[in-house]
């Protein structure tokens, strides 16, 4: 059950990232790349750091309890990423270059719609294409990789196609940060143990100095002379 609990935490990080990105979307979609890219990178790095620290803390604790194993960190990350990864792979396979439908023909062209030679071509410009399965799939995938979409350049023609192709890799960013943090567990535990031993040693030296000063003070204070 702990595997599913930790997978749920990673999933929560991914959803929080997506929901927060939607809430502050106007601020993240700045026209200037000098402002947009660092801002979105900071948001993405912040959530990734939380996942990394969470994985590292768990790895450190499990090393101290002698139950550490790399698979215990990789499995929750894989379970959390699996539904989004499958959806992203499907999107990458099914996506096609964007096509725009030109709508709103001028009124003076309405009469030409009945002509056999050009009516069919004009009707193409008035064709309205509704959202399909791929569009809904794209929305679900973009939700957990929103800052990456803003970094690449929003939802333009070429940028959107590139995002669809890269989405299987981008959805692994947060789960991957957790897994890497867990793998750092032994190193974190070693560093924590070293710092704890150093703090204990300094405390013992401080106590020893205090006792030595107290002994010196008692030794220097002789019996009072009677005059």
C-alpha distances (whole Å) from 96 to each of 93, 109, 145, 162, 163 are 9, 31, 19, 10, 12
Regions of the chain with pLDDT less than 70: 1, 98-131, 153-157, 220-227
Q: Are the beta carbons of 85 and 170 closer than 8 angstroms? A: no
The candidate with the shortest Cα–Cα distance to 22, out of 134, 142, 131, 137, is 142
Distance CA 147, CA 142 (A): 9
Model pLDDT, residue 226: 47
Q: Cβ(77)–Cβ(52) under 8 Å?
A: no
DSSP H or E segment with residue 197: helix 185-220
Q: What is the pTM of this model?
A: 0.75
Location of structure tokens 């030409």? 112
* Residue 202 pLDDT: 87
Residue of 175, 170, 171, 191 lying closest to 55 (CA atoms): 175
Q: Are 67 and 3 a contacting pair, CB within 8 Å?
A: no
The reported pLDDT for the residue numbered 73 is 92
Return the pLDDT at 27. Answer: 80
Residue ranges per structural domain of the chain: 2-98+144-183, 189-221
The per-residue DSSP string of 146-184 comes to: HHHHHHHTSS-HHHHHHHHHHHHHHTTHHHHHHHHHHHT
Q: What is the dihedral of CA 109, 111, 116, 119, to 10 degrees?
A: 30
């Amino acid at each position: 059950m702990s595997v599913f609990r930790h997978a749920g935490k990673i999933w929560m990080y991914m959803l929080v990232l997506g929901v927060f990105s939607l809430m502050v979307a106007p601020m993240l979609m700045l026209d200037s790349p000098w402002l947009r890219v660092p801002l979105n990178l900071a948001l993405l790095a912040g959530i990734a750091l939380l996942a990394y620290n969470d994985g590292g803390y768990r790895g450190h604790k499990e090393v101290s309890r002698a139950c550490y194993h790399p698979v215990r960190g990789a499995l929750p990350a894989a379970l959390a990423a699996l539904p989004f990864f499958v959806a992203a792979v499907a999107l990458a396979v099914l996506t096609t270059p964007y096509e725009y439908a030109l709508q709103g023909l001028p009124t003076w062209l309405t009469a030409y719609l009945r002509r056999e030679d050009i009516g069919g071509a004009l009707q193409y410009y008035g064709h309205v294409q509704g959202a399909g399965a791929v569009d809904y799939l794209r929305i679900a995938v973009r939700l957990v990789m929103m800052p990456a979409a803003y970094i690449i350049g929003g939802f333009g023609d070429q940028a959107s196609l590139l995002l669809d192709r890269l989405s299987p890799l981008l959805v692994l960013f947060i789960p991957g940060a957790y897994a890497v943090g867990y793998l750092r567990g032994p190193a974190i535990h070693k560093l924590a143990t070293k710092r704890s031993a150093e703090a204990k040693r300094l405390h013992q030296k401080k106590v020893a100095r205090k006792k030595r000063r107290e002994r010196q003070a008692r030794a220097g204070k002789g019996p009072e002379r009677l005059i």
